[in-house]
Amino acid sequence: MNKFLIVGIGNVGKEYSGTRHNIGFEILDYACKEFDKPFLTEKLGNVVKFKLKGKSLVLLKPSTFVNLSGKSVRYWLNKENIPLENLLVISDDLNLDFGTIRIRTKGSDGGHNGLKNIQEILNTTNYNRLRFGIGGNFAKGRQSDFVLSKWSKEEKSQLITLKPTLRQIIEYYIYSGINATMNKFNSK
């Protein structure tokens, strides 16, 4: 099938813009700017649908907040009749150093409540995910404050250089498949 659902996990609202937990939204916003496609507010999310070189893409920023992302993901998979193997979920990851990228086809939620909810709603841990490392530089018991805090000036600067690669990963996944994408980008 030539139809894909690319989901960026994040929280809606200006107060969450530019926070570590919203890296999924940031990556999709950057990709849409590059593709010159605007998001539209639809049921359970902000969505953009378009074709790119023969492939149909649905990019989704769930409006259900991070911890309830599964409801939106399931709705759009069903609405657009997209098979699970054509789903890619983009999220932050506290367990990876800042800027580290990990692409996987299955696995645990790694303590990420959004991924946990997606796994519960879809009833599987077998779906494609791109995890972006935000580091774990926070005091014990301050995880929530850390993921909801803004990027540092240095991190913002590094993100500017990383975003083209993250957009490239999305395109590569669509045209070359998940295994080739893991082989090419997980080593970086």
Point out which residues pair with 126 in neighbouring strands: none
pTM for the full predicted model: 0.94
DSSP character at residue 63: S
Q: For residues 80 and 78, what is the distance between their CA atoms, to the nearest angstrom?
A: 6
pLDDT digit string (tens) for 30-42?
998 888 889 999 9
Residue 53's pLDDT band (boundaries 50, 70, 90)? confident
pLDDT digit string (tens) for 114-157?
999 999 999 999 999 999 999 887 777 778 888 898 999 999 99
Residue 176: predicted pLDDT: 95
- CB 102 within 8 Å of CB 96: yes
Average pLDDT of the residues of the chain: 93
Residue 188, pLDDT > 70, answer no
Total count of domains within the chain: 1
Q: What is the CATH number of the domain that holds 177?
A: 3.40.50.1470
Q: Which amino acid type is present at position 28?
A: L
For this structure, is 112 an active site residue? no
Residue 5: predicted pLDDT: 98
pLDDT digit string (tens) for 10-19?
999 999 999 9
pLDDT digit string (tens) for 69-98?
999 999 999 999 999 999 999 999 999 999
Of the candidates 124, 42, 116, 45, the one whose C-alpha atom is nearest the C-alpha of residue 84 is: 124
Q: Which amino acid type is present at position 66?
A: V
Active-site option among 9, 11, 21, 130: 21
Domain range for 140 is: 3-185
Q: Order across the sheet with 128-133: list the strands.
A: 40-42, 45-52, 55-62, 3-8, 87-93, 128-133, 101-104
Residue 63, pLDDT > 60, answer yes
Residue 187: predicted pLDDT: 61
